[in-house]
Structure 1
Amino acid sequence: MARSPAATLYLFLLPLLLGQPPPSRPQSLGTTKLRLVGPESRPEEGRLEVLHQGQWGTVCDDNFAIQEATVACRQLGFDAAVTWAHSAKYGQGEGPIWLDNVRCVGTESSLDQCGSNGWGVNDCSHSEDVGVICHPRRHRGYVSETVSNALGPQGRRLEEVRLKPILASAKKHSPVTEGAVEVNYEGHWRQVCDQGWTMNNSRVVCGMLGFPSEVPVDSHYYRLKSLTNKNSFWIHQVTCLGTEPHIANCQVQVAPARGKLQPACPGGMHAVVSCVAGPHFRPQKAKPQRKGSRAEELRVRLRSGARLGEGRVEVLVNRQWGTVCDHRWNLISASVVCRQLGFGSAREALFGARLGQGLGPIHLSEVRCRGYERTLSDCVALEGSQNGCQHENDAAVRCNVPNMGFQNQVRLAGGRIPEEGLLEVQVEVNGVPRWGTVCSENWGLPEAMVACRQLGLGFAIHAHKETWYWSGMQRAQEVVMSGVRCSGTELALQQCQRHGPVHCSHSGGRFLAGVSCMDSE
C-alpha cells in the first residue's frame, strides 16, 4: 500500500522525536573535491575527477546528464553547465573510477548532495570517463583561482619550493637564483632526483619562486658536490609542460620506499635549477634589459594592489588604459601577465573586481593563453565589449615574487593590534646586524607605505610621528635609521634614501616612527 505524504513525513520525523538522527540519503558522496583535466588547460572543460581518500579518480558516464554536469560546474565555481561529454572525450584517466550512476536533481550546490552507487562501486572502464563543459563565466561569490590547494601525488600536499645554494657564488646572491631543488612536505624539506629533469620543470620551479625565466645549468660542477645519499630523495621524477603554476600540477612520481631493490635516485644526483630574476629584483649593477623591452612592458600594468606583484590587470590599447574581463580568466593567463611584468607565475587569479573596479574601456575578454606567450597580446582574446562585461568583472592577479629577505629586517612593537606599532628595523652597523628604531623626522605616508609593504601587511593608513602613546616603548632603543625619504615604490626601507650619520634632533624616545597598516587579503 502506498504511504500518504503525511505518513512519509511522520516516518522521517519520528527518529528526531526519539532523539535519533534522521535516516541519511543512501550512497551520499560526503565532502568532495573536484577538478577538470583537459586540453590546453582550459578551466571550464575537461575530464571530471574526484578526490577521495587522498587519491584522484574519475566518474563513469552511466546515466550522467545535464543535471549532474550543472551541479559539478556550480561546485567548480562556474555559473552553469553547457553540456557533458561521454566515452572519455577528454582522454582516459588513471586510478580508480570512484563514482558511477551519479544522480542529481540539478539544484544541489555540490556533488556530495547527490546519490550514486557508492565509492568505487562501478561496472565501468576508463573508456567511459565523463567530461563536462561549463559556462566560462564565474558565479558571484567565487573570487579567485589559487594554487594554495594544489595537491601532488596521492593527494599529498606539495607546499613550498626552494633552491638550496651549493656553489659559493650562488650563496652570495639575494635573491637566491641557483641551487638544488627542495620541496616542503609535512614540514620537511625533501630533495628531488634529477632523473628526466627538463627545462620545463625548471620553468615551473622558477615561476613558483618569483622568477620569469630560467637558464640551463652545467651539471658537471654539481656532480662533484652531491648533497645527500640516494635514499633520501623523496620525489623520484617530475614531468612538467612548463605552463603549470605549481609543481603539484605536474606529473610527480614519489620515490619508492626504502629497502626496495630500485634506488630512489639511480644517478644519485639532485635536480639543479638556475633562474633569471626580473628587473625589480636585479642588483643595480646588473645589465639593463634589451632595447625595446620597456615599451613592451608598459602595455600591461597592475593597479590597486597593496603589494608588489598584485593588482587589477590593465592593458594599453590605442593609447588608452583599460581593464580585462574575468570571463575565462585563469592561472595560465594570469601567469603570462606576471612573467611579462618580470615576476614569476601567478599564485592567484582574481575575479569579480576583487582588487577594485577600473575606469575607461574593458579592452579584453575571454583571454585564452597557452602559457608560453611572452606577452598578453600574444594570447587569443575577444574585445571586452562583445559579451556584456562590466567593470564588476575586472580581472586581477597576485604573482609569485622572489623572497628578498626584507620581511625579516623589520618588525612592529607595542601596537594594540598586529597591524600597528613602533617600527624597528635591522641594519648593519660596522658589519654587524643590529636592531633599532627609526627617527620620525621626514616620516610620512610614502615611507609608511614602504614599511607596511615590507612587513607584508598591505597598505599604510597612518604614519605615526609620535609613539609615546604606545606604552612600554620608551625603552633604551638605539636609533639606527634617520632622515628616511622614500618614493613609495621601494621594496624595503633599507632601499630608501637616508642622510649620512644617524641622528634624531628630538630628545627622548617619543619622536620615533610608527605605522598603522591595513591588510588587503
Structure 2
Amino acid sequence: MKYLSIFALFVALFSSAQGQYRGTVRLVKNGVSLSNFSSGIVQIYYGPSGSYMTSWGNICDDSSFDYNEANVICNQLGYDGVSTYGRAGNTTSYGTDAAATIVDDVDCFSSSYLTLQQCSLSTDIKSSCISDSEDVYVSCYTTRIWENPYPGQIRLQGGTYTSFGRLEVYCNGQWGTVCDDSFDATDARAACRQLGYSDYTPYVSGNFAGPSSQPIWLNNVTCSSTSNCLATCESCPATQYHNCGHNRDVVLGCEFDDFYIFSSNTLRTCQYATLPDRGTVRLIRNGVFLSTYSSGIVQIYYGSSSSTASRWGNICYDTSFASTEANVICNQLGYNGVSTYGGAGSTTSYGTDAAATILDDVNCASSSYLTLQQCSLSTVIKSSCVSNSEDVYVSCYTTRIWNNPYPGQIRLQGGNYSSYGRLEVYCNGQWGTVCDDTFGPTDARVACRQLGYSDYDSYFTDNILAGSSSQPIWLDNVFCFSSYNCLANCQMCPSSQSSRCEHSQDVIIRCRYGYGTASSNTLSTCQYADSRIDIGAIIGGVIAAFVICCVLIISIPICICCCLGVGIEAATRGGNKTKNVVTGAATMDTKTEVVTVSNA
C-alpha cells in the first residue's frame, strides 16, 4: 500500500472525530449528535474553498431549499430518502442549535444525488438566515440505502460519520472488504467519487477491520484517474480473496474539494460493471471475455436445474442446435446473423472453456427471434453434453442489426453486455436517447419486450452512460400500457427533439429473462408502417358513403353531400396513417409463436 504523508496518517488515525472532513453532514438534537440519529437539525462541516478553517454550522432553510435538497442530505447520511423536512423554528422536537449558519442557497438538480457537493451552494449568508429558527431539519426514513444493495455498491462502515470508515463492496449477495494490496490515491479517489464526493482524505488499513466471517472481495484494485466507480476498476469476483487478512482492510475518508471535478454519480450509477442479468449471453476466447468479440464460445448467465442461483455456463451442441439457434444468439448479441457455428471441439480458435454446461435442447422456431428466451430449452443436461468439446461456438457477421435501422427501432448502448445500457431509439434518420421524465416500470418492461426479453431488472439515469451532447433526445414523458410489446406503441417519433431534458436524464435499462410471458417480437416487429396514402381505402370509403346515403335519402335528402364529404374525409384520414405501428409479425414469413422457457 502506498502510504501518504506522516501528517495525513496522523490525522486519519488519531482524529477524535473520525470522518470530520469538509462536507461531512450530521444531525443534532438538543445540541447532541449521535451517528444513529435519522432525524434532527442538519449541520455541515464546512468552510471557504481552499481554507482549512472549517467548522460545524447550519444550513439555511431559504426559498431554494425543498424536497430535492432534503432528500440528498438523507442520502448522504446513508438513509433511504427523506420523510419530512422544514425549518427548525417550526418544531420543538430538536431543541435550539446555537451554531452559526455557514451554508446558504443550497440547490440540487436531482433528488438522487449522493452528497450536497453535487449541488450548488453558497457560503455568503443572507441576513434573513442568521436566526437559529431558519436552520434546516430533516427526518429521514430509517431504512439504509444499502439494505437493498446492487452488485458493486460500496459503503463506509465503522466510523463516527458516513464520510469515513471501512470500505466495503457488495458482491455475490454479501458485503465484504477491500484488501490494501496496491490500493493507492487514484483508487481512493474513485471510491469517494462513487460515494458522491470529489476527493479522499487519508486512507489507512486495519483500524476498522471487518469480522472474520466477512469475505474479502477485492484485491490489487487498479483504477484510472477518470474512474468514477470502483466497479469499473475491478468487477465482482466469483469467490473471495484468501491471501489477505482483515488487518489489511482498506479504511477510507472522503471529502469535498473544490479543486477536483465534482462527482456526477447518483444512487444507482455504479451498478453497470457488475454481474449480468439472467439470460445474458457473451462470447469467450481462451477464457477471456470482451464486449467487442463477434465470435467465440457461447456462455449464458442462467440457473441450473439444481440451483436457483444464476451463473455463467455453456450451451450444449446437440442435435437440436443448428443455424436457427446460432442465428438467434448472434441477434441477441446485436450482430446481423451467424456466419459459422459448431461444437468447440471442432476448432482450436477459441481455446477450452472450463465452465459447466447449463443449457441443453435449445430449439428456436424462428431465426429472426431476438433472444434465446423466445426458444424452448432445458436445464436438464444429457450425459453426452458434459464434455467441454460439446460447447457451442458461433462466429457472427460483424455488421450490427442497427446498422440499417428502421424508425422506432431501439437498442441498449454503452454497457458491458447487450442486455444493459443507455436506451436509444431511431427517429428522423438519427439515433437518440429517452428522457427519464415519467419513465416507469411498465415503460421499462415494454422496452425490454421489444428487445426480446420478458422483463426488466432495473432502470435509472447514469451520467457515465449519458449520450453525447450532439445526440438528440427523442422521447420524453413516455407512457406505456402493460399490454404493449413495442416502445413505438407508447410514443411515436417526434418531428423534433425534446428541449426540456438533459443527457444526465438519459434512461439506462437492464433487461432479463423473467417468469412472465416471453416476447414474441422478431427483428422487424416494431417498425412503423408505411406512410403512403392508401388509394384503395379512399375509394372504398367513397363507395361506403354512397351506399349509406342511398339508404337514408328517403328520409333525409340533404345528407347526400354531407355523407359523401364525411366518408371521403374519413377514408382519406385512414389512408394517411403516417405513424402506424406494426405490433405483430404479419409481414414476416417466419413462424413467430411464443415458446415458453423452461424455468431454472
TM-score between both structures, scaled by the size of structure 1: 0.27
TM-score between both structures, scaled by the size of structure 2: 0.24
